[in-house]
């Protein structure tokens, strides 16, 4: 059997390999501190769970939904007004089964074979995969320490910008933990208008932002609605990752094209999931704000703890991740990850899985409480791996 050459575009799935090693070590009785996959360990709020369970008890809700319920679209619009002070209408909203799937399909909506797209590096892997599935050629704009791991459009060559179809921006950023500013967003809008580029903003972490900053929507920036769309996810804010609830929001023509593609491959979001989403979007948000503070406690425990044992890891400014430079004696981030879990039981993700400039770093997910993170830090210290 000869498989599609399309599969040759993708490397091995790194999380599967790391999980396999984790399972093997646990079978040996080892204590593992899993800080690799960004799945929240907090529970969804009771009103969200109840909405889904009540809807699942109705046999009628187990049929194809075939559409986004009008109540769901209204709930997204209401949430954008309440949370971000942004006015949108139902025809500017389309659901998808998580931003992972949405970004994975957006290249097929927007690109023809050989089109150029602008992707950050380091970046979340599906940004690359979605572009390649659309036949596009990625041009990577670097997120560097010198520029605070933020997009720096002045370094994008004009000939590249003129060819580019879209630019993905992810702030707060996975994996690097950087946070945007109004000035940066205004610069991105001006850049997009000058070169007729669509901005695709990944807004999965606007509710996990630290040190008193406030997370916003791309559409808080004047002119952004003319040049952009945004993937808005409930996964991390409301701890519903398994339910796969996300929305593409923004320019009507892009949203309509996205719906057209999804109509060929999907029969709509499961109705009980839609009901859970409505409950989340229309319910209280105090839990979300409290949870942000808890993430900051974890950030402080990890970054401060690692610095206290001689590993100079800077604080993350947002997202549920920490981006850490590997010790100088290691040449490859995967080698360091495997050594770290073998010697200390601490599992993280190699930066090499996040694109061309990810090498030399590892990503930690803030998925354990502060006391467990303190144990993990102590285990790293006692392992001697930093010596």
Digit-coded pLDDT (tens) for 182-199: 999 999 999 999 999 999
> Mean pLDDT over residues 148-165, rounded?
97
Domain chopping of the chain, boundaries = 5-43+287-383, 46-282
Please give the CATH topology (third level) of the domain spanning 5-43+287-383.
3.90.1150
pLDDT digits (tens, 9 = 90+) for 40-81: 999 999 999 999 999 999 999 999 999 999 999 999 999 999
- The pLDDT value given to residue 10: 78
At residue 38, the pLDDT reads: 85
What's the confidence (pLDDT) of residue 265? 92
Q: Which CATH architecture has domain 46-282?
A: 3-Layer(aba) Sandwich (3.40)
81 vs 28, more confident: 81
| pLDDT tens-digit map of 232-249 | 999 999 999 999 999 999
Is the pLDDT reported for residue 218 higher than 70? yes
Mean pLDDT within 29-38: 90
**Mean pLDDT, rounded, of the chain:** 95
pLDDT above 90: residue 231 = yes
- The residue-averaged pLDDT of 302-316 equals 97
User: Quick one: pLDDT at residue 194?
Assistant: 98
pLDDT at position 356, please?
A: 86
Q: How confident is the model at residue 279 (pLDDT cuts 50, 70, 90)?
A: very high
Q: Is the pLDDT of residue 179 over 90?
A: yes
343: confidence class by pLDDT, cuts 50, 70, 90: very high
Residue 37: the pLDDT is: 83
Percentage of the chain lying above the pLDDT 70 cut: 99
What confidence category does residue 307 fall into, taking pLDDT thresholds of 50, 70 and 90?
Answer: very high
Residue 13 has pLDDT above 70, yes or no: no
The pLDDT tens digits for 254-271 are: 999 999 999 999 999 999
The pLDDT of residue 12: 66
**pLDDT at residue 344 tops 70:** yes
- Residue 346: closest CA among 290, 312, 315, 305: 305
pLDDT at position 345 over 70:
yes
Mean per-residue pLDDT, 13-35: 84
Whole-prediction pTM:
0.95
Q: For residue 7, name the pLDDT band (cuts at 50, 70, 90).
A: confident
């Amino acid at each position: 059997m000869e498989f599609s050459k399309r599969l040759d575009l993708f490397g091995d799935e790194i999380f599967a390999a790391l999980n396999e090693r984790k399972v093997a070590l646990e079978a040996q009785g080892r204590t593992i501190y899993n800080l690799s996959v960004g799945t929240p360990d907090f529970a969804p709020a009771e009103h969200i769970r109840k909405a889904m369970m009540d809807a699942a008890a109705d046999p009628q809700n187990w049929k194809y939904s075939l559409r986004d319920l009008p109540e769901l679209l209204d709930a997204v619009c209401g949430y954008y007004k309440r949370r971000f002070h942004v006015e949108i209408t139902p025809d500017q909203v389309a659901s998808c089964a998580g931003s992972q799937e949405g970004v994975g399909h957006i290249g097929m909506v927007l690109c023809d074979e050989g089109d150029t797209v602008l992707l950050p590096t380091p970046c979340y892997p599906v940004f690359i995969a979605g572009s390649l599935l659309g036949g596009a050629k990625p041009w990577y704009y670097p997120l560097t320490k010198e520029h605070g791991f933020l997009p720096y459009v002045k370094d994008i060559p004009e000939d590249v910008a003129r060819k580019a179809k879209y630019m993905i921006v992810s702030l707060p950023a996975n994996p690097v933990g950087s946070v945007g500013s109004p000035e940066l967003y205004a610069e991105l809008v001006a850049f997009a208008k000058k070169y007729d580029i669509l901005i695709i903003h990944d807004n999965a972490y606007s509710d996990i932002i630290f040190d008193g900053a406030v997370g916003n929507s791309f559409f808080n920036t004047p002119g952004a609605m003319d040049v952009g769309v945004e993937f808005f996810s409930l996964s991390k804010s409301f701890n519903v990752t398994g339910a796969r609830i996300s929305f593409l929001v923004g320019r009507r023509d892009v949203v309509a094209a996205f719906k057209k593609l999804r109509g060929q491959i999907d029969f709509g979001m499961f109705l009980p999931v839609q009901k859970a989403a409505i409950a989340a979007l229309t319910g209280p948000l105090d839990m979300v704000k409290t949870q942000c503070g808890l993430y900051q406690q974890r950030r402080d425990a990890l970054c401060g703890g690692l610095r206290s044992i001689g590993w100079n890891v800077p604080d993350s400014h947002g997202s549920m991740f920490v981006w850490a430079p590997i010790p100088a004696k290691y040449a490859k981030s995967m080698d360091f990850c495997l050594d770290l879990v073998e010697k200390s039981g601490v599992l993280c993700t190699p930066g090499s899985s996040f694109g061309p400039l990810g090498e030399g770093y590892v990503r930690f997910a803030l998925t354990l409480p502060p006391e467990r993170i303190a144990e993990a830090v102590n285990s790293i210290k006692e392992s001697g791996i930093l010596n």
